[in-house]
C-alpha cells in the first residue's frame, strides 16, 4: 500500500439551507477543497460520495453535474453515521492501492430539523424488533443506556456528562463552521429538558445541513502539486463492524467496534494514545463521548469521570489536556449524518497543518490527530493523520 496525503479540504458552515439542494451543498464543499488543493475537476481521477438520506439517488453523479462531468468512476456510500468517513476511506484505498493518484471524497447531508432517532433505512426485522417491548432502539435511548451502564458500573455522575456539553459548547465559540456557537453553564445543561436519561437537551447533537470534502493524493503527486505546503499524511484508515458478543439488541454494544478499530489504528500508525494531540470523536450524545474516552484509550477503563474532572478533553488554552472535539463536536457543530465523517477529518487536518481555518482554536504543536465515527448497525471508522 502506498502513502496517501490530504492535498486539500473544504467545508461549509453547518446549519440549515432549505433553499439549496444536496448536490449544491456537496458541490460547494468540493470546489473549496479543489481550490485549497490547487487543482481542477479534470485532475480528479475517482470520486467517493457519502450521503444517507438520498442514498438511492446517485448524489455523487449529481454533484459532478454541478462542478464538472469528466466520466470518472463514482462510488456512492451509505454507512449510517460513518457514511462520510467511509467515503473518505474509499477514496483513500483508491490511491493507496495504486489504482489512482488523485481522488476526492465528499460527505453531504440535508436533514433540516428531522430528528436523529433511528438508524434510517429499511426497518427492523420483526424477529428481533424490541421497540416498545423491551425499552427502545431509538438513538437517545440507546446512548442513554450506555451512560446509565457506565454510571452503574463506575459511579459516574450526571454532572460528568453535563461537563462534556459545557466543554464542547465552549470550544464551538471559536469555530466559525459550527452550527451553534453559544456557551452553556453546567446549570443550563443539567436543568434542560430531559431527552433520554441521562442526556438532557444540551447533551444531544442537533441535526441540520452540511458538507465537507477532501482531496487525496499519492506521494509522487504530492511532490508535484503541494508546492512545499505542509500536508497531512493518512497514517491509518480503519473500518470495523461488530463481532458477535453475548450482548443482545435490548442493550446494544456501542463500544466493542471502537475498541477494535482503535487498536488497529494505533498499530497501523505506529503510535499510542499519548501521541495523539487532538481527537475528533463521535459525540452524538454526551454519554457517547464519555464512553469513547475509554474506548480510544485516552484514559483507562472506569477513569472517564476522573479524566473529565481533571479537564481531560478541554483545549489547552482552557487548562485542559488530551483535547477532544475542539471543533465543538457534534453537540455544537451539528450532525448532518453524511457530512460528519469528512468534517471530523478536515478539523484534524487543519490543526496538524496549522491551517488558517483553525487559527482561532489551534491546538499548539499538534502533529498527530485522530478522527472517529461510529454508525450503529454497525460501523466504526478511525483515521489517524500525521505531519
314 is catalytic: no
Rounded to whole angstroms, the Cα distance separating 323 from 208 reads 25
Longest dimension (CA), the chain: 60
**Residue pair 105/214 in contact by the 8 Å Cβ criterion:** yes
Report the interhelical angle of 139-154 vs 286-295 (nearest 10°).
50
**Residue pair 344/374 in contact by the 8 Å Cβ criterion:** no
Closest CA to 313 of 164, 130, 149, 103: 164
DSSP 8-state class, residue 39: -
> What spatial distance separates the first Cα and last Cα of the chain, rounded to whole Å?
18
Active-site residue (options: 81, 204, 205, 380): 81
Cell of 107: 460527505
* Strand partners for 15: 209
Q: Which residue has the cell 480528479?
A: 44
| 90: phi then psi, degrees, rounded to nearest 5 | -60, -45
Closest CA to 89 of 74, 103, 109, 108: 103
Rounded to whole angstroms, the Cα distance separating 363 from 171 reads 11
Kindly list the catalytic residues: 81
Amino acid at each position: 500500500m502506498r502513502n496517501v496525503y490530504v492535498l486539500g479540504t473544504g467545508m461549509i458552515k453547518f446549519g440549515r439551507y432549505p433553499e439549496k439542494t444536496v448536490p449544491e451543498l456537496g458541490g460547494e464543499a468540493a470546489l473549496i477543497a479543489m481550490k485549497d488543493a490547487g487543482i481542477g475537476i479534470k485532475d480528479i481521477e475517482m470520486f467517493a460520495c457519502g450521503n444517507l438520506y438520498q442514498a438511492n439517488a446517485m448524489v455523487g453523479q449529481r454533484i459532478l453535474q454541478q462542478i464538472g462531468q469528466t466520466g470518472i468512476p463514482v462510488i456512492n456510500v451509505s454507512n449510517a453515521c460513518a457514511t462520510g468517513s467511509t467515503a473518505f476511506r474509499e477514496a483513500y484505498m483508491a490511491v493507496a492501492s495504486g489504482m489512482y493518484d488523485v481522488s476526492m471524497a465528499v460527505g453531504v447531508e440535508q436533514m433540516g430539523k428531522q430528528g436523529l432517532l433511528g438508524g434510517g433505512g429499511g426497518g427492523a426485522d420483526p424477529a428481533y424488533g424490541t421497540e416498545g417491548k423491551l425499552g427502545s432502539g431509538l438513538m437517545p435511548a440507546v446512548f442513554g443506556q450506555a451512560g446509565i451502564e457506565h454510571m452503574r458500573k463506575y459511579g459516574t455522575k450526571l454532572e460528568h456528562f453535563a461537563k462534556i456539553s459545557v466543554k464542547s459548547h465552549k470550544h464551538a465559540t471559536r469555530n466559525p463552521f459550527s452550527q451553534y456557537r453559544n456557551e452553556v453553564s453546567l446549570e443550563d445543561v443539567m436543568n434542560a429538558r430531559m431527552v433520554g436519561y441521562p442526556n438532557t437537551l444540551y447533551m444531544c447533537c442537533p441535526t441540520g445541513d452540511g458538507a465537507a470534502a477532501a482531496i487525496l493524493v499519492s506521494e509522487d503527486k504530492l511532490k508535484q502539486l503541494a508546492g512545499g505546503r505542509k500536508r497531512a499524511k493518512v497514517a491509518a484508515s480503519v473500518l470495523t463492524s461488530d463481532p458477535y458478543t453475548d450482548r443482545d439488541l435490548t442493550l446494544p454494544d456501542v463500544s466493542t467496534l471502537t475498541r477494535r478499530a482503535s487498536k488497529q489504528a494505533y498499530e497501523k500508525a505506529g503510535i499510542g494514545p499519548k501521541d495523539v494531540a487532538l481527537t475528533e470523536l463521535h459525540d452524538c450524545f454526551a454519554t457517547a463521548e464519555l464512553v469513547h474516552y475509554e474506548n480510544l484509550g485516552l484514559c483507562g477503563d472506569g477513569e472517564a469521570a476522573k479524566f473529565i474532572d481533571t479537564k481531560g478533553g478541554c483545549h489547552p488554552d482552557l487548562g485542559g489536556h488530551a483535547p477532544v472535539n475542539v471543533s465543538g463536536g457534534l453537540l455544537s457543530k451539528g450532525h448532518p449524518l453524511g457530512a460528519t465523517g469528512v468534517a471530523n477529518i478536515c478539523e484534524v487536518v487543519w490543526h496538524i497543518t496549522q491551517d488558517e481555518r483553525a487559527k482561532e482554536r489551534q491546538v499548539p504543536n499538534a502533529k498527530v490527530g485522530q478522527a472517529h465515527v461510529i454508525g450503529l448497525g454497525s460501523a466504526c471508522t478511525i483515521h489517524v493523520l500525521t505531519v
